Amino acid sequence: MPQQHSCSFCGKTPLSKNEIGITKKLYGAKPRNFFCIECLARHLEISTQDVLDTIEDYKAEGCKMFE
Ligand SMILES: [Zn+2]
């Protein structure tokens, strides 16, 4: 059973594979906190669409951390 992660800001549980993947991409392989897409966007002051676009870019590169 994979470990479940929660958003450190809003508590959303469980986070999707994409949300975990993008957190690792932005904060390193073993981030202390995980964030959902909405909280990431707010934290980075970008739109949620920007976060989704970034995830799509990584997926297009064949990154296995995303689904
Ligand atoms: Zn959140």
Q: Tell me, in angstroms, the distance from the centre of ligand 1 to residue 24's CA.
A: 15
Q: Tell me, in angstroms, the distance from the centre of ligand 1 to residue 62's CA.
A: 26
When comparing pLDDT for 2 and 3, which is higher?
3
**Buried b vs exposed e over 18-27: b needs ≥16 C-beta within 10 Å?**
bbbbbbebee
Domains: count for the chain: 1
Its pTM stands at: 0.89
Q: DSSP per residue over 8-45, as a string? A: TTT--SSPPHHHHHHHHHHH-SS-S-B--HHHHHHHHT
- Quick check: 1 pLDDT over 60? no
- Quick check: 17 pLDDT over 60? yes
Cβ–Cβ under 8 Å, residues 10 and 33 = no
Q: Tell me, in angstroms, the distance from the centre of ligand 1 to residue 53's CA.
A: 18
- Quick check: 67 pLDDT over 90? no
Domain of 14, in residue numbers = 1-67
Calculate mean pLDDT across residues 38-67: 95
